[in-house]
Structure 1
Amino acid sequence: MSEEASQATQHQTAVTDRKKPTEEEFLASFPQKYNQSSHEGYPGFLNQSQMAALDTLRKQLKDAGYTKRLDDATLLRFLRARKFDVAKAREMFEKCEKWRKEFGTDTVLEDFHYVEKSKVAQYYPQYYHKTDKDGRPVYFEELGKVKINEMYKITTQERMLRNLVWEYESFVNHRLPACSRQKGELVETSCTILDLKGISLTSASQVYSYVREASNIGQNYYPERMGKFYVINAPFGFSTVFAMIKPFLDPVTVEKIHILGSRYQDELLKQIPAENLPKKFGGKSESAGGVEMSDDGPWRDEKFQGPEGPAPRAAEGFTPSATPSATPSLASRGATPQPM
């Protein structure tokens, strides 16, 4: 066995042997409420009708046999996503639980290992790096660098989507709890930077299928996780198109989205401290080996880790047999892609 495979096997054994905390232990290990909020409908900031909707939804789900993910913060995200319509929020929650069972979401952090991650990052950089001024994890996606033909020589769309779910689960179970402990209040959203530098109609159309299915997963199964969203290096006309569709969007959603051109640095620095923003985007942060694979953030600091343990790394813990062809496809796991 090679040294790399031996280290990976040891890592996997450590992950398997680590005692997993109960849901109650996990939730008790980090703040579950906001200290302040500019909107109602969030933990600690509910009006009477919202409290009643929360109690009703939880009772209905318990009566239906659900036992997991019934905490206030989770149920409120589904309620906010459906304007506190209990029936619609329940339907959304139940569809999510069905998908989680079919996809194997509860064990994806242990089951899936993205061994090709560092190579894929050369053709489609997607990564988390530190936090913004509100304590949120900052997620970067450099869509303009996509080289789809080269990327699909290394991986498949099914594996990319499985890695997306892996990242969501790591985000929920490791990044957000660590950020909440660091800030001293609940942090349940991300700050996303979508870089369109170099984007073309050809590259955009080639990656459209992946982006569509990724959006479907995020909207339907991880609702209310967007805190701030910055589109930078937006091409000419992008702002005009957004202005046309803005009236049809929820005002709360609109205030989270910022469309910026090539002179975006000052706006990003208003939200992200210079010491946390990667140097290539106008900040001062650098990491050994590059920010694309470093995964720096409070989730890497022992002071902010709880009973869930240190955040895993997608490319670690694999066995020699875990090759791209060995992982079940989405279809075989019951996750049929749906149009947006």
Structure 2
Amino acid sequence: MELDPKYDDYDYPTTAPVAQNGHPGHLTSQQQAQVHQLRLMLESEGYKKRLDTLTLLRFLRARKFDVNLAKTMFVECEKWREQTKLDETVPTWEYPEKEEVFKYYPQFYHKTDKDGRPVYIEQLGGIDLNAMYKITTAERMLTNLAVEYERLADPRLPACSRKAGTLLETCCTIMDLKGVGISKAPQVYSYVKQASSLSQNYYPERLGRLYLINAPWGFSGVWSVVKGWLDPVTVQKIHVLGSGYQKELLEQVPAENLPKQFGGTCECPGGCQMSDMGPWREKEWARPAKWETTIQTSGSEVTEGAAAAQGAQGDAPVVAEAGATAPAPAAA
């Protein structure tokens, strides 16, 4: 894979562990040319940020290497970033209501799976939007979601890649549906739909595996219909499991990395939900995020010291990939 020194500044492995078509380190000459073509098209329109090879490849894969469609997706993403002032928000973002929000909707990263990817966990059974909106707002929840995507990209995934010795670009996601009954489903899917839309449109190719555990009665029937609408590659990533999910889940996530409440053995001091444990917290693998060290905001530079208090803490995003449609965040 050819790298462009103007944009490609990586301090972690850049070759994907499996030789999949269109993935870093496993490109055809045509795909490499399409990366160059996309970059030139974006440069000609004045875009200068996020033109590195790995980012462009994610947008190209999301659009089946149709350069024009990938360009449209990238441009729409940049417009959204500008409108939301995301680059300015990330280094200084604070979410003090997180612990209270977690009482209704826990969302957290916790260690890694057997492939070295970050494990991301959501528990949807306690969602009560009316109660949550007394603590925070829908806008702040979605802003926090976007910030956590940025922190997934850097520093979480780079740290995991360093530890694994190979490029890791995706997560292993566990979505616990326990308690999501018919009466609660509309509230759950109302927020999840907004979150999934954000992830599909602006953060493509971030889903490695998705385990839907404690799936309620009747869900499997719905899933058998829905998966017929999805790309076969996406379907292979999604595993719908009932209450007896532990055996299959533990085949992917080591018991010592899985919180005890899900059948693992991990009991972090203060609770796994708030620990944010993983390679991004281990001195040997962690590095300051690029947004943490040099971010230009409104003509002034935010340094590492200004952002150090934020680190990589916070809850995490619903992980879905671009290009798919589903009633739940099981898209990829």
Q: TM over 0.5: same fold?
A: yes
Counterparts of 1:8-19 in structure 2, within 5 Å, are none
Q: Find 1:97's aligned residue among 69, 78, 81.
A: 78
Give the conservation status (yes or no) of the 8 Å contact 2:16–2:167: yes
Are 1:29 and 2:11 an aligned pair? yes
**Which residue matches 1:218?**
199
Aligned residues: 294
How far 1:307 moved relative to its partner?
4.0
* Structure 2, gaps ≥5 residues long: 293-307, 316-326, 328-332
Q: Displacement, 1:36?
A: 3.0
Matched, 1:205 2:186: yes
Equivalent position of 1:17 in the other structure: none
| CA distance, structure 2, for counterparts of residue 208 and residue 247 of structure 1 | 20
Distance 1:96 1:151, change over 3 A: same
**1:25, distance to aligned residue in structure 2 (A):** 9.5
Moved over 4 A (4+): 23-26
Root-mean-square deviation over aligned CA pairs: 2.0
2:302 is matched with none
Deviations 1:30-55 (A, max 9, x none): 11222432x21001011232222112
Q: How far off its partner does 1:144 sit? A: 1.1
| 2:93 pairs with one of 112, 135, 153 | 112
Provide the C-alpha distance between the structure 2 equivalents of 1:47 and 1:312, rounded to a whole number of angstroms.
35
Counterpart of 1:313, as a letter, is Q
Structure 1 position 299 matched with structure 2 position 253: no
2:312 is aligned to 312
Q: C-alpha distance in 2, partners of 1:202/1:153? A: 21
Q: d(CA) in 2 for partners of 1:300 and 1:26?
A: 24
Q: Which one-letter code corresponds to 1:263 in the other structure?
A: G
Identity across matched positions, percent:
55
CA shift digits 1:36-81 (9 cap, x unpaired)? 32x2100101123222211211111112211111111111110111
Matched, 1:71 2:52: yes
1:174 aligns with 2:155: yes
The one of 143, 168, 171 equivalent to 1:190 is 171
Deviates more, 1:246-255 or 1:90-99: 246-255
The whole-number CA distance in structure 1 between the counterparts of 2:312 and 2:226 is 39
Unpaired runs of 5+ in structure 1?
A: 1-22, 316-339
Does structure 1 conserve the Cα–Cα contact (< 8 Å) formed by 2:160 and 2:279?
Answer: yes
Return the letter of the residue paired with 2:65: F
- Greater Cα offset, 220-229 or 147-156: 147-156
Scaled by the length of structure 1, what TM-score is found? 0.82
TM-score of the superposed pair, with normalisation by structure 2: 0.84
SS at structure 2 position matched to 1:227: strand
2:244 is the alignment partner of 1:267: no
Looking at structure 2, the residues matched to 153 and 72 of structure 1 have their Cα atoms a distance apart, in angstroms, of: 43
**Most deviating of 46-55 and 113-122:** 46-55
Aligned amino acid, residue 66 of structure 2? D
Structure (1 or 2) with the greater helix fraction: 1
Of residues 265, 278, 284 in structure 1, which corresponds to 2:259? 278
Partners of 1:155 and 1:131 lie apart in 2 by 29
Which amino acid counterpart does residue 312 of structure 1 have in structure 2? Answer: A
